[in-house]
Structure formats: C-alpha cells, structure tokens
Structure 1
C-alpha cells in the first residue's frame, strides 16, 4: 500500500462552474475506477446533454469497513488516468478537504455555492437499490435532479427499491431525459441502454487472488 504521506493533497474547492452550466455530479469511492464507471458518466453526459461531469472522489464509504479504502489522492489519480484529459470530465476530491462524509453534505454545499448552475446527481442503478441506507437520502433526492444509469443485474432491484417507490411520482420519462437538468428537484430519470459489467469489487478480488499466487 502506498504511503499516505506521499498522497496528493486534496483540492479545497470544486472545479469552476459558470452560470447556467449543465453539470453532472458523479460521486463514489472508485476503488478502483473502471470502464463501468466511465460508461455511467459518458451515458449521463450524452443522454442528458451535459457540458461536464464532475467525478467526486469521496474520502471513503460510510457503509463499508473503515480503513479498507486507499487514500483519496491515489484514487483521484487513478480516475484521472481512466477519463483522460478531456474538458468534459473533471476529477476532484474536495470533499476530503472540506470534511464531508456524506453525499448530502456535498450537494447542500454546491447548491449554496452555485445556485445558478444546473446540477444533476448521477448514480448507477446499483446505488439506487441501496439509496435508502444513505444518510438523509430523502433530502439528497430533493437537492438536485437525479439520473440513474442502468447497471448489469441491478435493474429490478433499483426500480423496486424504497427510494424508487418513495419518489415514484417524480420519475421523468426516459424520452424526456434531456429536460432533467432544467427541472426542479425532486425529479429523477432511469436511463436504459448498453451495459458494462465491470465491477470494483470483482477487480479488487482479482487483485487479491493475484497477490496470493505463489511464484514459480
């Protein structure tokens, strides 16, 4: 494991944004980032007509074992390597510098900092399936419109989940997805389409197996 002292310091502020911009917020631990994450971000960017997606590399996941996640700086570097240097994707770990542990804190901060920006919260369908376990999840749904991108094996669980049922009347038809950034929350849209089966947990398991293979 890398020495945390050599890890890049987190940014204090989010990326710059101009009034009227349509920006997607894609939060996660990204441990490690993979093609499935990029597929979710690119799908939202294209289907919602966004100008940019901010990858919010979180300090950790409160629902997972503490200390099991590498430092945010190293994960930020990995995400930057995955998405490349294009202007449509911005990578930041400012939540660590601000001391934010929960996504709802981040969304409230951004709503106050950029009241004239059209933000959309982006998540995979697997995250919607467990959203009811998140801190203040109802308030989170009320901060910004939410785009849910389908993930392999998660479709039914996501659409039957407590969060989907609780906000069923605020679901936007998929054919109107491009209107989502301009809508007032709560509003959410489920985006179907081609799927990418990449998985962080599978990649971590594979990495663990490779470390246990004896040298010959």
Structure 2
C-alpha cells in the first residue's frame, strides 16, 4: 500500500518528524501538537521510514506502521506519509535534499527529541543538515542536559534561537535551531515492544 505525496504550497512552513514509528505512540502525538503550536507550523508530516540506518534490526511492516500511526495521530494539520519510500532515501540529509527539490518555496523544519540532539553528531552530514534546515528540538524526559551539552548544540551555539522566540524558527532562515521544554510524555516505542504490546511484521 502506498499513498500519494502530501500537498504543500509555496510559503508554508512544514515540520518534519522522521522515525520508524515502530509503533507510533502518545509521546509522538504529544510532541507533534507542541511543535505545531510552539514553532507556529502550518503542518507537520510524519516521515515513516523504511528503516533506521542506526538500528541493526528492521521495523514492522510499513503498511502496519502507517495504519497504526494514522489511527493514533488524527489531526487535520498532521500528515502521515511514507515519503522516504518514494524518494528512496534512508538518511535524513538525503531525505531533506529530496523533499526540498520536490517542494520548491516550502520551508521545512526538522523536528526531533532532545535525545536525538545528544547524538546528532553521529548522523550522516549532520553539519549540513544544521546549516541548511531549521531544527526544532523538543525536550524529552532525562535528556535535557546531554542535549544542551552535545557536540551539535555547542558547534551551532551561535545559531540558537531563544525558546521565547520559537515561533520565528521557520521564518528566519538557516542555520537556526531552537530548544523548547514542554510538558513531558515518557512513552517509548522500545518499551512498548519490550512489553509485548506491539507485534512484529
């Protein structure tokens, strides 16, 4: 099962939340709603990935993950998409290049939890991502300190937008990133799988 590419028009600011969503859970829903509000986004797209290059074991089948994500994230300004299956990209840097080529005139903001910022320097072409794409970082339980002291945070300290100005993130160009603290949900895909609440393929 494959879906048409999401619609976007020039001038819009769209947040991209990538991941395996294996499975999607209330934590994803929570940070998505916070991102829409705090970063003043027109839309958020969930990019359900074919697989995470940093994980050795593959996720559940794409159709299953898409269906579950759509069931749990029912919001008029959120789109669940397997866009990376269309672009044939596995790494964020390549995905962003492909998406920007598909949607000229649209501003994309990369969204991630603070836990991802803590190890962002391990991502392929992470400096290129930070230099060309606004990044919104949403704090998750137990990750604030490691994220704030991370290689990426220190390297791009000069481009950090104060949390009080978070609504400007997608409108001031790149490099630009913003770290926001939000009321937390500690839901975890790995814990859901470990508890046997989510089957395999």
Residue 151 of structure 2 corresponds to which residue in structure 1?
Answer: 162
Q: Secondary structure at the match of 2:196?
A: helix
CA–CA distance in structure 1, aligned partners of residues 119 and 136 of structure 2: 15
Tell me how far 1:184 sits from its aligned partner.
1.2
Tell me how far 1:64 sits from its aligned partner.
0.5
Q: Secondary structure at the match of 1:123?
A: strand
CA–CA distance in structure 2, aligned partners of residues 168 and 50 of structure 1: 23
5+ residue gaps, structure 1, are: 1-7, 212-216
Q: Secondary structure at the match of 1:207?
A: coil
Aligned residues of 1:108 and 1:143 also touching (Cα < 8 A): no
Q: 1:57 aligns with which of 48, 63, 66?
A: 48
CA–CA distance in structure 1, aligned partners of residues 35 and 87 of structure 2: 26
Tell me how far 1:128 sits from its aligned partner.
0.7
5+ residue gaps, structure 2, are: none
Q: 2:93 aligns with which of 98, 104, 117?
A: 104
CA–CA distance in structure 2, aligned partners of residues 165 and 14 of structure 1: 36
TM norm structure 1: 0.87
Q: 2:63 aligns with which of 50, 65, 73?
A: 73
TM norm structure 2: 0.94
Bigger Rg over Cα: 1
Residue 166 of structure 2 corresponds to which residue in structure 1?
Answer: 177
Moved over 6 A (4+): none
Q: 1:82 aligns with which of 72, 83, 106?
A: 72
Aligned residues of 2:118 and 2:146 also touching (Cα < 8 A): yes
* Greater CA drift, 188-197 or 71-80: 71-80
Residue 46 of structure 1 corresponds to which residue in structure 2?
Answer: 37
Q: 1:23 aligns with which of 11, 14, 32?
A: 14
Aligned residues of 2:13 and 2:42 also touching (Cα < 8 A): yes
Residue 5 of structure 1 corresponds to which residue in structure 2?
Answer: none
CA–CA distance in structure 2, aligned partners of residues 144 and 164 of structure 1: 15
Note if 1:125 corresponds to 2:121: no
Q: Secondary structure at the match of 1:122?
A: strand
**Cα RMSD, aligned residues only:** 1.6
Aligned residues of 1:145 and 1:184 also touching (Cα < 8 A): yes
Tell me how far 1:55 sits from its aligned partner.
0.4
